[in-house]
Amino acid sequence: MAQPPRTPADKNTSIRIAGEPAEAAVWRGRALVIDLFRFSNTICALLESGRRDVRVYASTARALAVRKLEKDSDLFSEIDLGPGVDQYDNSPYTALHGSDPARPALSVTNSGSPAATSLHLAQEILIACFANFPALTGYCRSRPLPTLIVPACLFYNRAHVEDVICARALEKELRGGNAFEAALEEIHASGRVLDFMTSRPVTGKRDIEIALKKGIFNSVPLVKLVNGVGVVQDACGHKG
């Protein structure tokens, strides 16, 4: 398959992958956050489902406080938020098919939401995953900026190597290459797919089927930090 043409701006724009959380805190260009198995795809799925109000929180305390005030909102998290808390799992399948798109969606997670909300100085924060690779790379190529790819596992558990593998594939994709198939092989070889499905018996298989497909989402989640809260919009303006 022919690769998209690269403009001089593409060639001159720096792209690198963060190795430490501190790099995200001081970054001033474009940031691409990858939490592959859950957060990235869940946020995309919420937009694809037609959600108009999607917000990302760094702390469970703040998300719970908002949920208490906004009783018509939905919480999405893999974290046990305590007894009596009505919440959805941080599941892209559930976000896409099993919840009401008319309600506000509040996301607070172990790695993805802290990663996104740490980028206080970034000019632009986008959420990336295989499922939105074509839309994301098309958007980035049309608006070149110095780019930092942030694997969210840096903020929680570095054993979640799928984030780093996806980050390397995204870097190559942004430079005009295609490393998707090789990345899939590496992720499967890591054992992380089986670990994830075992730990998420209800939707794990369906979530993985979404997370390991390329180009099934058109949404490019754009996170704007407002008083420390990530307000999410579709950078490409799709309406779900």
CATH architecture for residues 18-234: Alpha-Beta Complex (3.90)
Q: What is the value of pTM for the model shown? A: 0.93
The per-residue b/e assignment along 66-99, b for 16 or more CB within 10 angstroms, e otherwise, is bbeeeeebbbbbbbebeeeeebbbbbbbbbbeeb
What residue spans define the domains of the chain? 18-234
pLDDT per position as a tens digit, 175-194: 999 999 999 999 999 999 99
Q: Return the axis-axis angle of helices 162-174 and 180-190, rounded to nearest 10°.
A: 170
Question: pLDDT of 21-39, one tens digit each?
Answer: 999 999 999 999 999 999 9
49 and 101 in contact (C-beta within 8 Å)? yes
Among 14-18, 82-86, 116-120, 131-135, name the one with the lowest average pLDDT: 82-86
